[in-house]
Structure 1
Amino acid sequence: MQGKVIVVTGASSGIGYKTALQAQENGATVVFTSRNAETDEKIKQSLKGESIVKNLDVSNESSVKELFKHLKERFNSIDALVNCAGFVEPESLLNTSLENWNKTIEVNLTGTFLCTKHATLLMKNEGGKIINIASTAGLTPRPGWSAYAAAKSGVINFSSAIAEELQDYGIKVFVICPGRTATPLRKILAPNEDPSSIMQPEAVADVVMMCFTKQAEVLEGQPILVRERF
């Protein structure tokens, strides 16, 4: 990963933050992004080498366009995008408001689409990798999490579709489906759960790093389940 430019969304916490740190430790120039990344002291103190931090609202196309315009001017191209940004506010079907539904879809699914589209515009001449973080919630029943499950299911099928579509550009697409992981989003989904009793975000970041190897290409375009059995 030495010298590669990698964009990580949702890089302020959880899987996104641990992924960004690991990529940086492996020699990549990392673009740490989240809604308030530029004022996040933890991120700023974590920067090494040529890595930078940028604010990004993945659900806002103007914000996404602005980010990738800046990256084109600064780096000319990028080598990879890791879509980690997420949102969840679990409610039963009858209690889920349209506002909740729309925001869940906009951040988790539309945000993945927007960032993928504009990253592809930078990568299509030289190839690259796109790694989308979905969830096992997109594969199995999640009563009470219908909006989140729908969004993550969409990420999985979106990833499969573009894996075929982007072959001509030399862009490899991976979709990772973590199980229970000790992240801020998981705390919202299961507030009474002991975070030390479940998988840690570093474990998922390890799998993201694996996707940068040649050997991982046999896993392209299909859900990669990452979960511990307890």
Structure 2
Amino acid sequence: MATAFLSTAITFLPSRLSSASASSSFPLTTPSSVHTHRDNTRKLLTICKAVNDPPPPSPILTKRALSLCSITTFFFSLAGQGGSNANAAILEADDDEELLEKVKKDRKKRLEKQGVINSSNEEKAYLQDVVYKLSKVGQAIDNNDLSAASSVLGSSIDADWVKKANKAFIKLSSSPEEKSQVDTFNTSLASLIASVTRNDVESSKIAFVSSASAFEQWTTLTGLLGQLKGL
């Protein structure tokens, strides 16, 4: 566009000079007239050159500056991601160490408990007697023979076999869950003895199921499930 404007201005210049010389009362060759025309010509050429020349590039918007900005942003982004990944790796390593430590502690506890169980032959004999008695009581209740069930259970929770069972419970119970199952067993057993004494078949069945379930759950938690016959 600037080139076209310059061409138009140069083409227009001679006609304007000719028109001005024809309408003037002074001859074209006078010094003042020649000087005026030269000044006008210089002004027009100056204007055309200013229009045709492109403005100097702004240092902020040059391609080189934009490229540098883009590269800098890219590397800062990579640096930020690298820092995040490094932090994540550290956290994961800490989590792995904590998990490994927990696994080691749990394994140590299991081995210690297994050692206690293996050395508790007397307590396991008491618990085997519980399995035997519960089996007999269950058969008697199923046959509605509560007198037979009463002869196996005894008249109260203070029966000798119950005391021996609780001795084993105390020695082999370590976790809150195991102790909770022991409490449930004793409570249900007391209800079972009372129901059998009253000759209440339905209540006896409910109390028996609760007692047997609590005992089986306790043996599962302690690791004795596979070491007692009849379970």
More strand, by proportion: 1
Indicate the structure whose relative CO is greater, using CA pairs within 8 Å and at least 6 residues apart: 1
TM bucket (normalised to shorter chain) is: under 0.3
TM-score, normalised via structure 1 length? 0.23
| TM-score, length-scaled by structure 2 | 0.23
